[in-house]
Structure 1
Amino acid sequence: MNDLYDRHRAVLPDWLALYYEDPIEITHGEGRHVWDAQGNRYLDFFGGILTTMTAHALPEITKAVSEQAGRILHSSTLYLNRPMVELAERIAQLSGIPDARVFFTTSGTEANDTALLLATTYRRSNTVLAMRNSYHGRSFSAIGITGNRSWSPSSLSPLQTLYVHGGVRTRGPYAHLDDSAFIAACVEDLQDLLGHTRPPAALIAEPIQGVGGFTSPPDGLYAAFRDVLRERGILWIADEVQTGWGRTGDHFWGWQAHGQSGPPDIVTFAKGIGNGMSIGGVVARAEIMNCLDANSISTFGGTQITMAAGLANLNYLVEHDLQGNARRVGGMLIERLRSVAAQLPGVREVRGRGLMIGVELARPGTDEADPQAAAAVLEAARADGLLIGKGGGHNTSALRIAPPLSLTVAEAEEGAAILERALRSAY
């Protein structure tokens, strides 16, 4: 294993982060479990950063990919592509956006890039509103709108970005307010901001901030923002790369918790829809999607092999009501972790929705982030057979829990017990 690590360090960038003091090589998986090169078995509560959404080695997806590979892997968007059209039809119907058009990419970063291109072209403005503590990808333009310093290595950008309050409920100047007053204060701040700048192209926001530590505003905040934006013709882009496809349990899309003003103008997606295959995409009203006046294609976006996987995955997700499972099992898991947190002074908050759960750690008796404890819990959980993630806008002090949506009650209990032991070892 050390040999592979040495080889990794010799040929890959220093900034390509690895988890664990002794990094592991995952060789195979099945269901909600994976194995490393030493034969150790782990319960997977992170799913390749929320990407293995359904299950590892799901037979229905494996069969679809194998059969498609036996026909043709790829032809580009220059030719008619039946699997791409079929998946686009399903997503357009599920999006809630009227007269929807779908464009496929290979990642969430590329999807957000496309959304920004569409919005700035449609509105003839390069000013973008984004949320503090946000993350939208690693391309030049996506870094330019990311509101999380840990993931933004450059201040250079093709866009002028203005950051808005509201993505983090329990920190910042409005944290002491109740939900309705919090929303009112954030809306007032947005209105004030818009009074001091040229009209922006769009607001881009994650319904639940992923890399930011699974933080979110009160339900209804983005609906209230939408009312302000609509008056000025400003578009709303919902970044559903991590929240989409039923992961939050209560809704199929994260934006639906803020849906009182109707669907967003643009929705971006990726990660879970491919269950590990590289699929991203954008859904937008036809007038917005069709606003580009130059030719464009995608060499690898929408390729047949990934579309076959996406179709099989989406069919399985819907037919087995994995959204409902996320609501039931996720709700139980959140309550279990909250009962543990109540006994531990270092757990500042357990938050989330469905199977998208954040556990924020702080130095006992303070609000000060505790990244060392988060790293220690990550290591202890791994040693006990559980893989989790970490993130957060305050020195990476939040644990991120996002298992495949087919998680069973028994597996949730097992993972919660391991995590409890890991937390107790840190505090």
Structure 2
Amino acid sequence: MTNDLLGRHRAVLPDWLALYYEEPLEITHGEGRHVWDARGNRYLDFFGGILTTMTAHALPEVTKAVSEQAGRIIHSSTLYLNRPMVELAERIAQLSGIPDARVFFTTSGTEANDTALLLATAYRRSNTILAMRNSYHGRSFSAVGITGNSGWSPTSLSPLQTLYVHGGVRTRGPFASLSDDAFIAACVDDLKDLLGHTRPPAALIAEPVQGVGGFTAPPDGLYAAFREVLHERGILWIADEVQTGWGRTGEHFWGWQAHGRNGPPDIMTFAKGIGNGMSIGGVVARSEIMNCLDSNSISTFGGTQITMAAGLANLTYLLEHDLQGNARRVGGLLIERLRAVAAHVPAVREVRGRGLMIGIEITKPGTDEADPQTAAAVLEAAREGGLLIGKGGGHDTSALRVAPPLSLNVAEAEEGAAILENALRSIP
């Protein structure tokens, strides 16, 4: 049955639509932190549909909210007042930390970042964007044009002029050998030098922790230091919180808060986990920025009632059960366990991350050379052991990505770590 579905998939879908595993899985159902495939195999899910099943599979509070809303009305568009959309916007505006915030809902993180770029370039009347090396911001024409990862940017054509800045990867590049303070100072000097050679950009867009890039991050405070330079020149800061938002990093509700001494970003984008699988993305910005557009706009599917009902139920559950605190506690235990394992596996260059957002970088032993074949082998071995994880990285996809639902408990963390240990130790 699965082989038949794979053949049908290949016959009608694009060749570039990636599938995990030599024998791709058909996931049929899930519960809590587990999913099952079409053959009845049960897996501990440490990837959550790319960090999207944020609380749990089949969370009763969310499924009940979706079912009840579907029984009333599913969709009406933004041309009509929409109570669930207003209620969720009110909560996100308050949680964002952005003063006098306005919220616009989209259907994905790609569309959210696309909207943020539209707002920034219109507000600043500039089509120049600063972006980070090793970054990823989506698959639209404008988003791939600011993505600093060649594996995910299929064209160099773009409506924007993009300039790439140092700093998103702490342990690679020309500043890797410096102390954290010296690293930040060098990156700031590089930014200042870059700005001296170009027309004023509209904005810097940055992921506080780079997701597709392999869960890499700069030292805390880098973006605060960047913000000082940008603010002096009127350049906006867009924080891409598509993967880091909603408490996943444990220490903070938003990733930008690790760099927040100069206040919140001017624009923030979000998606993935807030819908727990439903298609929700969005942009939060100061009212003067959000309201700068001088033409009409709507969203047919952004903010539809059924997705907003899911988002409200999911956010309520997350806050009432302190899943941010759980991510900090259980994630801290998990990362230390994985670091202890990695110390005995020469192919592991680094275990990095915070909360339940952990990257394991695989290289050829004794070198910094990426080893995507071995990373893929570990991915397969983990699956054989009953664990689903992800992969990424800016150096030929050689980082494993571990990002379970935020309700993960200690026993499940230990179980997943044991499976990963066996998978890593299977490396020849």
Describe the SS at the equivalent of 1:261. coil
Describe the SS at the equivalent of 1:121. helix
Describe the SS at the equivalent of 2:326. helix
**Residue aligning to 2:238:** 237
Deviation, structure 1 residue 426: 1.1
**Residue aligning to 1:130:** 131
Instruction: Check if 1:159 corresponds to 2:160.
Output: yes
**Residue aligning to 1:92:** 93
**Residue aligning to 1:186:** 187
Q: Which runs of 4+ in 1 moved over 4 A?
A: none
**Residue aligning to 1:335:** 336
Could you tell me how far apart the structure 1 residues matched to 2:64 and 2:7 are?
36
Deviations 1:80-124 (A, max 9, x none): 000000000000000000000000000000000000000000000
**Residue aligning to 1:391:** 392
**Residue aligning to 1:108:** 109
**Residue aligning to 1:321:** 322
Could you tell me how far apart the structure 1 residues matched to 2:28 and 2:339 are?
33
**Residue aligning to 1:227:** 228
Paired AA for residue 249 in structure 2: T
Could you tell me how far apart the structure 1 residues matched to 2:23 and 2:31 are?
23
Could you tell me how far apart the structure 1 residues matched to 2:338 and 2:120 are?
40
Deviations 1:293-337 (A, max 9, x none): 000000000000000000000000000000000000000000000
Deviations 1:111-152 (A, max 9, x none): 000000000000000000000000000000000000000000
The two structures have a TM-score, normalised by structure 2, of 1.00
Gaps of 5+ in 1: none
Deviations 1:129-178 (A, max 9, x none): 00000000000000000000000000000000000000000000000000
Could you tell me how far apart the structure 2 residues matched to 1:277 and 1:67 are?
15
Deviation, structure 1 residue 182: 0.1
Could you tell me how far apart the structure 2 residues matched to 1:37 and 1:46 are?
18
Could you tell me how far apart the structure 1 residues matched to 2:114 and 2:217 are?
23
Q: How does 1:164-183 map to 2 (within 5 A)?
A: 164-183=165-184
Could you tell me how far apart the structure 2 residues matched to 1:261 and 1:400 are?
30
Paired AA for residue 38 in structure 1: R
Could you tell me how far apart the structure 1 residues matched to 2:15 and 2:310 are?
33
Q: How does 1:4-403 map to 2 (within 5 A)?
A: 4-403=5-404
Could you tell me how far apart the structure 2 residues matched to 1:188 and 1:7 are?
53
Describe the SS at the equivalent of 2:379. helix
Could you tell me how far apart the structure 1 residues matched to 2:344 and 2:250 are?
27
Describe the SS at the equivalent of 1:393. coil
Could you tell me how far apart the structure 2 residues matched to 1:2 and 1:80 are?
46
Describe the SS at the equivalent of 2:72. coil
The two structures have a TM-score, normalised by structure 1, of 1.00
Could you tell me how far apart the structure 2 residues matched to 1:72 and 1:366 are?
57
Matched pairs, number: 427
CA RMSD after TM alignment: 0.3
Paired AA for residue 316 in structure 2: N
Deviations 1:352-396 (A, max 9, x none): 010000000110011100101100000000011000000000000
Describe the SS at the equivalent of 2:239. strand
Deviation, structure 1 residue 289: 0.1
Could you tell me how far apart the structure 2 residues matched to 1:358 and 1:45 are?
12
Describe the SS at the equivalent of 2:129. strand
Could you tell me how far apart the structure 2 residues matched to 1:355 and 1:365 are?
28
Could you tell me how far apart the structure 2 residues matched to 1:426 and 1:278 are?
37
Describe the SS at the equivalent of 2:29. strand
Describe the SS at the equivalent of 1:426. coil
Alignment identity in percent?
A: 88
Deviation, structure 1 residue 36: 0.1
Could you tell me how far apart the structure 1 residues matched to 2:24 and 2:99 are?
46
Paired AA for residue 310 in structure 1: G
Describe the SS at the equivalent of 1:34. strand
Paired AA for residue 350 in structure 1: V
Could you tell me how far apart the structure 1 residues matched to 2:201 and 2:56 are?
40
Paired AA for residue 70 in structure 1: G
Paired AA for residue 37 in structure 1: A
Deviations 1:222-258 (A, max 9, x none): 0000000000000000000000000000000000000
Deviations 1:43-89 (A, max 9, x none): 00000000000000000001000000000000000000000000000
Could you tell me how far apart the structure 2 residues matched to 1:426 and 1:35 are?
26
Paired AA for residue 25 in structure 1: E
Could you tell me how far apart the structure 2 residues matched to 1:326 and 1:237 are?
25
Deviations 1:392-416 (A, max 9, x none): 0000000000000000000000000
Describe the SS at the equivalent of 1:260. coil
**Residue aligning to 2:409:** 408
Describe the SS at the equivalent of 1:61. helix
Paired AA for residue 396 in structure 1: T
Could you tell me how far apart the structure 2 residues matched to 1:12 and 1:41 are?
27
Paired AA for residue 402 in structure 1: A
Describe the SS at the equivalent of 2:261. helix
Deviations 1:191-210 (A, max 9, x none): 00000000000000000000
Deviations 1:13-32 (A, max 9, x none): 00000000000100000000
Could you tell me how far apart the structure 1 residues matched to 2:44 and 2:146 are?
34
Instruction: Check if 1:421 corresponds to 2:422.
Output: yes
